[in-house]
């Protein structure tokens, strides 16, 4: 029986942060680089002084609407296609982008999900009944782990604190989508040899 897999969007599937920072530099003179963002609450980081969340948040929707966004990893479509044998992926996000723009981005990049759910509160994901979640927000990952879900923290500069602690039995760290696939396959009991045969059959 396939398990439900919850996927985040911004910073996990879509690299919206890089073009958003570029637009924030042009529009507001933001000086921060992506590697210097150490807090998911973006206004708490140096370089964003004087900016409000209401000014920053729409930028993430705008870059997606302008087709300025790339995948976090170009291998995501193939990896999710293999994972769909064992999981039912769906997108759960509080992205400011319109659902239609998110859907178009996924479709154009060959990513298939069961449906897209949008929440105002990211930590509401912890109330979803799922086998696993992949997210870059450490608060969401911790909330989901505490709810009994297997939570995969997708490594980004802003979640370094939780990566250092690694203090929860339900949390795994993924340093890229290769790790995401390996972790999820292992949880379903799929061996390295079986994964190799799956990839061989795709050629």
* pLDDT for the residue numbered 192: 65
Q: Which three-class secondary structure state does DSSP give residue 127? A: helix
Q: Is 201 exposed, middle or buried (0-12, 13-18, 19+ CB in 10 A)?
A: exposed
Q: Is 130 exposed, middle or buried (0-12, 13-18, 19+ CB in 10 A)?
A: buried
Q: Using CA atoms, how far apart are residues 104 and 142, in angstroms rounded to an integer? A: 30
* pLDDT for the residue numbered 78: 95
Return per-residue pLDDT of the chain as tens, 203 residues. Answer: 789 999 999 999 999 999 999 999 999 988 888 888 888 888 888 888 888 889 999 999 999 999 999 999 999 999 999 999 999 999 999 999 999 999 999 999 999 999 999 988 878 899 998 999 999 999 999 999 999 999 999 999 999 888 877 678 999 999 999 999 999 999 988 776 666 666 646 55
Residue pointed to by tokens 């966004």? 69
Residue-range domain boundaries for the chain? 3-13+70-202, 17-65
* pLDDT for the residue numbered 84: 94
* pLDDT for the residue numbered 97: 94
Q: Which three-class secondary structure state does DSSP give residue 46? A: coil
User: pTM to 2 decimals?
Assistant: 0.91
Strands 150-154, 14-15: pairing is unpaired
HSE-CB of 101 using CA atoms within 13 angstroms: 19
CATH topology of domain 3-13+70-202: Rossmann fold (3.40.50)
Q: Using CA atoms, how far apart are residues 156 and 175, in angstroms rounded to an integer? A: 8
Strands 14-15, 70-71: pairing is antiparallel
Q: Using CA atoms, how far apart are residues 111 and 104, in angstroms rounded to an integer? A: 10
Give 101-105's long-range contacts (Cβ < 8 A, gap of 24+).
101/61, 101/64, 101/65, 102/9, 102/64, 105/14, 105/64, 105/69
């Amino acid at each position: 029986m396939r398990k439900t897999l919850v996927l985040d969007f911004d910073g996990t599937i879509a690299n919206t942060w890089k073009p958003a920072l570029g637009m924030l530099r042009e529009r507001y003179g933001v000086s921060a680089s992506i590697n210097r963002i150490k807090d998911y609450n973006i206004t708490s980081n140096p370089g964003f002084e004087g900016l409000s969340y209401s000014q920053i948040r729409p930028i993430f929707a705008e870059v997606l609407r302008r087709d300025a966004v790339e995948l976090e990893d170009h291998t995501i479509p193939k990896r999710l296609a293999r994972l769909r044998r064992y999981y039912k992926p769906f997108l759960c996000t509080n992205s400011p982008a319109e659902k239609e723009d998110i859907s178009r981005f996924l479709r154009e990049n060959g990513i298939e999900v069961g449906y897209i759910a949008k929440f105002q509160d990211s930590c509401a994901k912890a109330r979803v009944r799922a086998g696993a979640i992949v997210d870059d927000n450490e608060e969401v990952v911790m909330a989901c782990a505490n709810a009994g879900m297997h939570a995969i923290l997708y490594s980004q500069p802003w979640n370094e604190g939780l990566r250092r602690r690694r203090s929860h039995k339900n949390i795994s760290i993924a340093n890229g989508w290769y790790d995401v696939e390996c972790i999820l396959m292992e949880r379903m009991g799929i061996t390295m040899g079986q994964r190799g045969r799956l990839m061989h059959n795709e050629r």
